[in-house]
Amino acid sequence: MAYTAFKTMREVNKERFGKDLGPKQPPLYQNSRHRNDLKSSALRFLHDRCEGLRFDDSTEAEFHGAQCTGRSISADQIPYNLQMDIDRLCLERELGNFIDSGTAEDAYTVYYCFLEMFIGRYGASQSMIELLSEFESNASSLLMKHRDHYSHSVYVFALGLAIYENNEKYRRVFRSFYKDQIGFKRGESEESKSAKTANFFLEYWGLSSLFHDIGYPFEIPFEQVMSYFEVDKKKRGKGTIYLAFHDIYSLTDLNEEARKRFSDIYHRDFKSTDELLAYDITKKLGEAYDFDEVYMLGKLKSKPGEPNENGYFMDHAYFSSARLCRELLETIGSQRGINSITSAHIDVLSAIMLHNSLFKFAISFYKDPDRKPELKASLHPLAYMLMICDELQCWDRTAYGRNSRTELHPMAADFDFSGGSINAVYYYDAEESPKIDEFREKYDTWAKLKKRVGKEAAGEAPRLKAYSDMNEKEKIFLTEIRHIVDTSIMPLDAVPDVRRANRKVKHTYLSDSNFLHLYDFAVSLNGRYSHQGEEEKIKTEQLEKEFDEMSLEYKLTNIRQARNFDLYLNEIGCFYTDKPVDFDMLTSFTQDELDMIAPMEHDRWVREHIAMSWSYGTEYEDKDLDISHPEKFGLAASLTEKQIRAALREQTRRHKLTMDGNPTTEEIKAHYDQLPPEEQGKDWKPMKSMLKLIKKYDGLRIYRINSK
């Protein structure tokens, strides 16, 4: 049983109410054509392998009358482990949405779930995540080459889950490497060990994959200068003008508390992340690749201040690792205690440090004829997985750089992970077929010339990045991956193909903002329920405090409501932007516009509840229900009748306003039309508030497309 707390709660509710109510078991997504594709595999990992994720065994009595400590719409409403199962379902659903669309907005909610579940309150880490998207969308257009790393990182996360799900050899390697840290008990069942290992992988792989590129805001300004210098086609080298970072100790130095913690783990005193990671990387790879700690420390220290010693490149991985270390110490360390930081967290940091250029150019020298061996998973399972997934994820990435926008990159990919292998088909836009045909013709001509006069006389082969790397005889794309990581435990193949682009899945509208305001919008939207008419007066700190008191599920429902605002505006011929435009500004909605928006919001709400395993039911409102002793439901005796019934709604996951099955848009609209006016108002009133709230952020304003 995948969601065991759902099962236990359902059994308890059957005893309490005398009938089978719920919560029902969340359905598993299955691709009807192929069960081992990316989405099916990644979601199956979360659904089936991660039983008991973040459970606290000491709280099991909460299902049978002990005081509930789990949070739903408010605190102490449901058993703690039920909340943990609901959180996992949130992550599963949001990852599925992202794989379907690939948009930054859907990537955002995956980040949000992971931060809330494994690091701490999202608001505390907000700037770390959103800064990457901000920098890329604003600054990267000045670069020669640059593509998205925000959505890219979530794709990398999904790839790792899918590979783990299907590759038994990797699972064995990972379990063997981390068995002591996972902490198996004597006599523990194989099923329990498997779930514990999967849960451990989810946490530390998530940290490695989702945050491996957060250091790009340091690399982007360096590359901007280089792009300006390279306008005249000058190559990097001696005489190149470049940026360097000094006083880096402000980012890399460890405070006394951190130094003591790492000393407890390794019995060594480390003053900085440079020293810590030089030790960890050398311990894992030094013997296999013949280098010592002094060499590695020198390489790390040269990264920020001496790019001339690193091919005149700035390594974002260095800054990603240092920045994440600071974040972990300030969030996990402060919220759960410094002892919650373990050697597995250091493995995450060293995996990130290795993934970009350090391993390739300072350890294995993978492009040299006498290169050193490829990385084996047994040496560093997290670094191994990060390297292979980072290389594989080259599709559906927004191109920002000037050259990147004109190059041909795959727009989509299909994966088959059957039998532990990786078989990928990368799709290129059929509209680019003339460019592909031209390349093939040039390449065939070059190949014939090479055969006649030799490789040296024929010169360099024609290139059409990245299509040529996959299609030409040399298979550069696959060859380079195989020179970086040992693929003997996961056979790898990739081929190119063409098909027509389907841009509708992106749900892209005219509304645009330079910043991801979803969190701010959601916080404000939630506040409107208790601060009606005070939207412009209430302080942000108070709104955030109220928002934090809800569970992840209810935070996400506010975020989704905010996310759909651009869709609703599009339907009524409007859009929002922070740019001055020659359109009529919208100052209020007409009733006709609200009548269009409200059913759409109800449609979103119903589908969201169905996806989260809610069902229709009114038992929590039954006047014959004996609620005179709320303690038998695990609730405080001091609660009001309204609060008790609200808690029972959360425990049964039954709601009078939702629907069962898979209703059509027309059926949901008919359902909305039958609601009483006070219930219909819940769907359109937030939109009126959003009209006021949206103006608070970066000067956003709403305009009508059809100006008079």
pLDDT at 259 over 60: yes
- Please spell the DSSP secondary structure of 479-547, one letter per residue: HHHHHHB-GGGS-EEEEEEEE---GGGG---S---SS--HHHHHHHHHHTTTSTT-TTTS-HHHHHHHH
Residue 41 included in any domain: no
Angle between helices 552-563 and 104-114 (to 10 degrees): 170
pLDDT score at 240? 82
In a domain, residue 625? The reply is no
pLDDT for 684 equals 86
549 domain residue, yes or no: yes
Query: Are 31 and 39 in contact, with CB atoms under 8 Å apart?
Result: yes
**Per-residue pLDDT at 472:** 72
User: Is the bond preceding residue 501 a cis peptide, omega within 30 degrees?
Assistant: no
- 600 with 685, same domain: the answer is yes
Q: Residue 431 — pLDDT band, cuts 50, 70, 90? A: confident
The pLDDT assigned to 706 comes to: 75
The residue range of the domain holding 704 is 509-617+656-708
CA dihedral 325, 330, 336, 338 (to 10 degrees): 60
Average pLDDT of 231-259? 86
Average pLDDT over residues 356-384: 96
> Residue range 546-560: average pLDDT?
91
- Each as own residue / partner, the long-range contacts of residues 430-433 (CB below 8 Å, 24 or more positions apart, any chain) are 430/498, 430/499, 430/500, 430/501, 431/500, 431/501, 432/408, 432/498, 433/498
Residues 110 and 237 in one domain: yes
CA distances 321 to 277, 278, 349, 353, Å, are 9, 12, 5, 6
Strands lying side by side in the sheet with 584-585: 574-577, 701-704, 584-585
Residue 592 clears pLDDT 70, i.e. is over it: yes
Question: Would you call 61 exposed, middle or buried from its count of C-beta atoms within 10 A (0-12, 13-18, 19+)?
Answer: exposed
pLDDT above 60: residue 695: yes
Residue type, 666: E
Residue 497 lies in a domain: yes
Question: Which value, in Å, is the radius of gyration of the alpha carbons in the chain?
Answer: 27
Per DSSP, 264 falls in state H
Q: In this structure, are strands 584-585 and 422-429 parallel, antiparallel, or unpaired?
A: unpaired
Q: Which of 344, 377, 406 marks a domain boundary? A: 406
Q: Do both 672 and 689 map to the same domain?
A: yes
The 10s digit of each residue's pLDDT in 377-397 is 999 999 999 999 999 998 877
Residue 9's CB: how many other CB atoms inside 10 A? 24
CB atoms within 10 A of CB 566: 20
How many domains would you assign to the chain? Answer: 3
**Residues 206 and 330 occupy one common structural domain:** yes
What values do phi and psi take at 177, rounded to 5? -65, -35
629 within domain boundaries: no
| Rounded-to-integer distance, Cα 202 and Cα 355, Å | 18
CA distance readout (Å), 521 to 288, 532, 559, 590, 600: 51, 15, 7, 22, 18
**pLDDT tens by residue, 185-226:** 999 999 999 999 999 999 999 999 999 998 888 888 888 787
In terms of DSSP H, where are the helices of 58-187?
A: 80-101, 104-114, 122-139, 150-166, 168-182
Q: Is 587 found in the same domain as 443?
A: no
Among 475-489, 563-577, 605-619, the range scoring the smallest mean pLDDT is: 563-577
Tokens read off for 515: 């910043």
**252 exposure class (CB count in 10 Å sphere: 0-12, 13-18, 19+):** buried
The pLDDT tens digits of the residues spanning 283-324 come to: 999 999 999 999 999 999 999 999 999 999 999 999 999 999
Residue 632 has pLDDT above 50, yes or no: yes
Kindly state whether residues 468 and 566 are assigned to the same domain.
no
- Mean pLDDT over 80-97 rounds to 98
pLDDT at 399: 54
What percent of the chain is helix, strand and coil (3-state, nearest 5)?
60, 5, 35
Pair 244, 304: CB distance under 8 Å? yes
**Residue scoring higher pLDDT (127 or 655):** 655
Least Cα distance to 149 among 168, 129, 169, 164 occurs for 129
How high is the pLDDT of residue 404? Answer: 44
pLDDT-derived band of residue 541, with 50, 70 and 90 as boundaries? Answer: confident
Q: Which residue has the higher pLDDT, 213 or 522?
A: 213
Q: Tens digit of pLDDT for each residue in 105-114?
A: 888 899 999 9
pLDDT of amino acid 141: 52
Q: Is the dihedral of CA 658, 565, 612, 124 positive or negative?
A: negative
Give me the pLDDT at residue 405, please. 45
- Segment of 140-144, 446-450, 518-522 carrying the highest mean pLDDT: 446-450
Q: Is 195 among the domain residues?
A: yes
Q: Are residue 481 and residue 514 in the same domain, yes or no?
A: no
Q: pLDDT tens digits for 463-518?
A: 776 777 787 766 888 999 999 999 999 999 999 998 887 766 656 666 665 435 67
**Is 71 inside any structural domain?**
no
Could you read off the pLDDT of 126-175 as tens digits, one per residue? Answer: 666 666 666 655 554 554 454 567 889 999 999 999 999 999 999 999 99
pLDDT value for 11? 97
Are residue 371 and residue 256 in the same domain, yes or no? yes
Same domain, 594 and 705: yes
Final residue in a domain of this structure, among 374, 406, 438: 406
Return mean pLDDT, the chain: 88
**Report field, pTM of the whole predicted structure over 0.85:** yes
* Residue 32 within any structural domain of the chain: no
Asked whether residue 192 falls in the same domain as residue 263, the answer is yes
Burial class of residue 274 (count of CB atoms within 10 Å of its CB; 0-12, 13-18, 19+): buried
User: Token pair 């680019």 is at which residue?
Assistant: 432
Q: Which backbone phi and psi does 240 adopt, to 5 degrees? A: -70, 135
Shared domain for 262 and 396, answered yes or no, is yes
DSSP per-residue string spanning 566-630: HHHHHHTTEEEESS--SSEEP-S--HHHHHHHHHHHHHHHHHHHHHTT-EE--GGG-TTS--S-G
Single residue among 355, 377, 406 that ends a domain in this structure: 406
Spatial distance between the Cα atoms of 321 and 327, rounded to a whole number of angstroms: 10
The H-or-E segment that residue 413 falls in is strand 412-416
Q: How far is CA 307 from the centre of its chain?
A: 30
Q: What percent of the chain has pLDDT over 90?
A: 60
Same-domain status, 567 and 590: yes
Q: Per DSSP, what are the bridge partners of residue 495?
A: 425
CA distance 334 to 119: 11
